[in-house]
Amino acid sequence: MLETRDLTMSYGERTLWTGLDLTLKPGQLTALTGPSGSGKSTLLNCMGLLEQPTSGEIWFDGRELTRMRPGAVRRFRRDHLGYLFQNYALVENATIAENIDVALKVRGRRGNAAMSDALERVGLAGREDDRVSRLSGGEQQRVALARLIVKEPSLVLADEPTGALDHGNTEIVVSLLRNLADSGACVVIATHDDWVRDQCDETVSLEARGTASRVGVGAAPR
């Protein structure tokens, strides 16, 4: 479970959000919405320990992330965190296998079985030796998801993961994120896409005035 307690973020005079008290449960997809510039990416970056909030606390599974020392931060990110970006964040001149191997090594896992299983789950079975630079956007995002599947993160932070995709690929990505949640991960998706939002169990909406509202449990057809 991820909790934020009285979380505030300001850059100089400008407050992005203030007094955020959120509880995000494992097994759930949470949509993070709000106008451009409302601080969705910044909130994900705080949850992922890439940025420090101005004040307040972030807790994950009984540990206060905001108080961790640098070594513990590195271990938390290595062992528990999965990030998914709009631009896929893959090594483009490497193969699919080489990209996924990074996550396998991090988990201390070896073997082709985990990799081929993950590739099968994302619909890229047998494509290990394909170069990432030759793949379509949807295929690249599925490689990024295969990398998450082998990493088995307990916290998945997705920043506009479908922003560059057509609807078919958007559906595939959301369904794979749903699978990660079903395996027990806490999944947060920053999105401008109403369809993606409606697939989530809950929506947290950041307002331009620096507050957040929970828009309740979404329709979430499964």
Ligand X SMILES: Nc1ncnc2c1ncn2[C@@H]1O[C@H](COP(=O)(O)OP(=O)(O)OP(=O)(O)O)[C@@H](O)[C@H]1O
Chain positions contacting ligand X, by CB under 6 A: 11, 16, 34, 36-42
151 vs 197, beta carbon nearer ligand X: 197
Identity of the residue, 128 or 207, whose beta carbon is nearer to ligand X in the bound complex? 207
- Could you tell me which residues come within 8 angstroms of residue 88 by beta carbon, excluding any fewer than 6 positions away? 137, 140, 141, 143, 144
Please identify, using beta-carbon distances, which residue of 3 and 160 lies nearer to ligand X: 160
CB of 78 to ligand X, least distance (A): 24
Distance CA 31, CA 36 (A): 15
Residue bearing tokens 């369809």: 195
Task: Number of helices (H) and strands (E) in the chain: give both, helices first.
Answer: 7, 10
Q: Minimum CB separation from ligand X for residue 182, in Å?
A: 27
C-alpha pair distances (Å), 203 with each of 193, 196, 221? 12, 10, 15
Cβ-based nearer residue to ligand X, 24 or 122: 24
Q: Which is nearer to ligand X, 132 or 212 (CB)?
A: 212
Locate 190 and state its tokens.
């920053």
Give φ, ψ of 81 to 5 degrees.
-105, 135
Q: What is the closest distance, in whole angstroms, from the C-beta atom of residue 11 to ligand X in the complex?
A: 4
The partner residues of 179 in beta bridges, in order of sequence, read: none
Report the nearest approach of ligand X to the CB of residue 103 (Å): 25
Residue 72 CB, nearest approach to ligand X (Å): 23
